[in-house]
Structure 1
């Protein structure tokens, strides 16, 4: 039998302080996140909040921005703080999950192609079954060598490299119906 946890990665006010922040996709993200969290809570699935922490800037604890975005109202079962892109390295998350016999993770949060994708890959390598809910992730355009990848391109790329290799990519509705 599969035991599930929802892993909410970096949905924190720190991002709203970054120069690349844009609210363009934020309303849809909010709705998807709220539906996913509410659906998991209704099914007694623990919600785990992960926050990224740096030594300085808007991701430092001293900044006051390492806290849930204002639209979030849930009470997480536990909170972990990370200092790298994945939610497992030096956080205690793996021990917490295994001590509760949790073997299926639902991934949501910020940024789609960075912390969410990296956590998904590590989780898969650690033996977890992973559901990646792209519509409940948020990201921003990225530019490298003069080429800008828009949000849809980044999402598509992430779904392409994760599906069937590291995770099952599903919508909020598909995820909740499968529980």
Structure 2
């Protein structure tokens, strides 16, 4: 197996049933994530689906919503479930990556500044090479203390704290060219 894996983190129906709604960014995200998955699969880079699971509500297995967003039709070589913000803790993914001698993780999915960023940070701390493909991630505005951070603000912040520390930040095109 290749030393590189694409992680598709939390791209699941649960989000749209917890008050998050599609945004003007959603169509571009769907297109870019689809391009990234297709490009990785064309290069025989395995895709791993990561789903967030909680005991109750739309993220519970009983809800029937812990499944891929409808636009995703790829073949995943593995599917793991997580109960924390990063994909590597207590999900079985870290063991799977070691068994398959993976050294490089490509990060995509939902939410840019939460589960995707947290996974990138933990992966870097564990010694993985990390490529963060921001345009293949999606998030939603956040308001705190009367200040709203837009999707663009959150993406910029995430890229700023990851680049040259925890991950290489790339577009889909840049990521796929680097894999060639």
* TM-score, normalisation: structure 1: 0.98
Structure 1 residue aligned with 2:76: 76
Residue number in structure 2 paired with 1:112: 112
**Structure 2 runs not aligned, ≥5 long:** none
Q: Which ranges of structure 1 fall in alignment gaps of 5 or more residues? A: none
Residue 56 of structure 2 is matched in structure 1 by 56
Question: For 2:97 and 2:79, how far apart are their aligned partners in 1?
Answer: 12
Instruction: Give 1:50 deviation, angstroms.
Output: 0.2
Query: How far 1:99 moved relative to its partner?
Result: 1.0
2:162 equivalent to 1:162: yes
- Establish whether residue 175 from structure 1 lines up as the match of residue 175 from structure 2: yes
1:132 matched to 2:132 = yes
Moved runs in structure 1, 4+ residues, more than 4 A?
Answer: none
Which residue of 1 is the match for residue 96 of structure 2?
Answer: 96
**How far apart are 1:20 and its partner, in Å?**
2.8
How far apart are 1:96 and its partner, in Å? 0.6
**CA-CA distance at 1:22 after TM superposition:** 2.7
Size of the alignment, in residue pairs? 178
Q: SS of the residue aligned with 2:85?
A: coil
The residue that corresponds to 1:35 in the other structure is: 35
Equivalent residue of 2:95, what SS?
Answer: helix
RMSD of aligned C-alpha atoms?
0.8
Q: CA deviation at 1:134?
A: 0.1
